[in-house]
Amino acid sequence: MQKPSVLGKWSVVSDSLNFGGAIRNYSTSSSDYYEFLSNNSLIISEGNRLDTADYAILYDTAITITFKRPPSVTFLVIQNGLVVKDSIQNRFSQRFSLKQFSPHQLLLSTSFSYPLAPMTESPTKNTVLVTGKINLKR
């Protein structure tokens, strides 16, 4: 039996991000998509935003996506009783687990610690857990 391929255009069913308890569910439309190209490039179209990235499949269980332009995601986070505005704005690679992978469904999941600015005495007190899920279908 042949393994499914990520190549091609996938419609976005849902895309969510939990940034330390602040949940962001992206409003998706039928025109939103992820398109995996054979040259390991990825085109992401969500809303009025178009992103390009590189991707690599790892061990048939994970995919790494390296964004070519900085995303600008802004969050309000409560830290020590204060509301802190923070954003992810640097170029980065993110590893996603392939939770569901079939010819018609691709469910990506990620989890990582993100440093809040400014860093002070203890790095663990200045990080927040970020989790994300992207559900795609053909």
Q: Are 96 and 65 in contact (CB under 8 A)?
A: yes
CB count in 10 Å sphere of residue 65: 20
**∠ CA(77), CA(90), CA(85), 5° rounding?**
20
Quote the tokens at residue 35.
């398109």
pLDDT attached to residue 64: 87
Domains and CATH numbers, the chain: 8-137 (2.40.128)
Cα–Cα distances in angstroms (integers) from residue 107 to residues 1, 51, 116, in the given order: 21, 19, 28
Q: What percent of the chain has pLDDT over 90?
A: 25
Give the tens place of pLDDT for each residue, 104-124. Answer: 999 999 888 776 655 455 555
Q: pTM for the whole thing?
A: 0.74
